[in-house]
Amino acid sequence: MDLSFSSSLSKTFPSSSSSSFLSVSNPFSFQLSGKPNTSQLLRFSPNPGFQCRIFFRKPLLSRENNHVVRAAQSSEQSENDDFVLEDVPHLTNFLPDLPSYPNPLQKSQAYAIVKQTFVSPEDVVAQKIVTRKDSARGVHFRRAGPQEKVYFKSEEARACIVTCGGLCPGINTVIREIVCGLNYMYGVEDILGIEGGYRGFYSKNTIKLTPKVVNDIHKRGGTFLRTSRGGHDTQKIVDNIQDREINQVYIIGGDGTQKGAALIYEEVERRGLKVAVAGIPKTIDNDIAVIDKSFGFNTAVEEAQRAINAAHVEVESVENGVGVVKLMGRYSGFIAMYATLANRDVDCCLIPESPFYLEGKGGLFEFIEERLKENGHLVIVVAEGAGQEYVAAEMHAAEQKDASGNRLLLDVGLWLTHKIKDHFTNVRKMTINMKYIDPTYMIRAIPSNASDNIYCTLLAHSAVHGAMAGYTGFTVGPVNSRHSYIPISRVTERQNTVSLTDRMWARLLASTNQPSFVISDALLQERVDRETIEEINNKKINSI
């Protein structure tokens, strides 16, 4: 049976078994529902026309040219059990005759002692780890790691690395480990560094990267290759890749950078080039969807403790001391939340996801006054994206964006400091001592800590294994602590934000004993109901 259909459609087709169906909702997502037949294999080739075929044969134990999803048979599976693999593209999808080669790791001394050197092509990682007995198996991603077959000979591989966007602890570690991983594990010696971000492809010189050149760059902050925002011109970039005969591209950057990586992959595929495009997601704010966390986040939370501790010492040493510490978090308050939970000296944490108000019962001013009367001092941590609507309205500021398309933020920390001082000096007639600390660029510019260094190594090696195995148009990251290959569209479709109905935010409120700034129980219930309805609707959409 041969089923073909356009990727713009969403249809359900019956298989040879009346209780098993194939459901396709996008080019990289498919679903088997009902009790599957163990002889069924779904082979997936996301070529430009998107053809999907079902073959009925014995399950394969390895995969070479096509993506394989097998639904395992179990007598304990319920009738509602279904399995979804959101797979990533492979070079053989548009270059079907591409030859493969044995992985050099077969002869590696480092991997000789490993019980299972290679990842099975059938290994997947579940996106949702906590489920109920009768719930669906849900979405899975391909597990990252070395594959038995590779699609690049060591002497033919020519890789390049580029870093884009803002700074973040750990970038240099990722660069170093991509270079060392390619060289030590796969014998690749031709590695280029693209200087100055995306525009470096067509306006800057490149630098030859070797393990010796990058040997100690992980001890430095910033990016060894320098960076920039914007400058993405897909045609010029791919022209340069083609002219330089580059066949592996490693792109380190955040949301906008990964969207650019997707465009590069699409153009590479359109031209039929043997070029693997791998993304390594970077954002200090931890706002990338799907993955457990982004690199640099642990370092940022740890370094933020120095600023919070300094603010606490300052306010504790004076009468009615009020300290305000502004931390990073344009749209997501993860750094502020985790830094607050880690410190224990913070009295109030303000994040973009949780609206707050200053005056009136239950407002910030009332809370500050009560805490000053109780302790004589107070520390407030505020994420840079919190309260922007108040600042913009008061300053009559028009919305502006940077070269990456991000909204330029106003200084909420400085604004909040002035509002607190004006209120207590002029309205409450109280003498207070204000202290304001903004450690943003100090945190961004430091080297990564031990935890992030290990994490960056795993990210880099996963990207190298994936590109050498012929995967392309993917990004890497941990999903439930297991590194996976994820379609770029999944990590750029939305931003990861703090959920005010999750236990972590409740833990923070319990730790600081601050107000939730929710005006009434009715408003809270309305918000919860709205999120519940949205969650149900999303599940319905995903199940179509």
Give catalytic residue positions.
285
Residue 237: its H or E element: helix 234-243
492: Cα separation from own chain's centroid:
8
- Amino acid at site 12: T
412-422 and 364-375 helices, crossing angle to 10°:
70
388-395 and 412-422 helices, crossing angle to 10°:
70
Instruction: Give the integer Cα–Cα distance in Å for 176 and 337.
Output: 31
Tokens 């580029």 sit on residue: 162
Instruction: State how far the alpha carbon of 466 is from the alpha carbons of 140, 182, 309, 469, in Å.
Output: 17, 11, 42, 5
Which runs of E-coded beta strand occur in 220-334? 248-253, 276-281, 321-327
Residue 100: its H or E element: none
**CB of 223 within 8 A of CB of 251?**
no
Angle, vertex CA 328, rays to CA 434 and CA 302, nearest 5? 90
- 172 phi and psi, to 5 degrees? -65, -35
- Which among 24, 18, 40, 21 has a CA at the least distance from the CA of 32? 21
Query: Collapsing DSSP states into helix, strand and coil, what is residue 536?
Result: helix
Angle, vertex CA 291, rays to CA 287 and CA 297, nearest 5? 50
Helices (H) and strands (E) in the chain, counts: 15, 22
Residues 6+ apart with CB under 8 A from 394: 415
Instruction: Give the integer Cα–Cα distance in Å for 489 and 486.
Output: 8
Instruction: Give the integer Cα–Cα distance in Å for 162 and 231.
Output: 13
Alpha helices in 274-353 (DSSP H): 297-316, 334-343
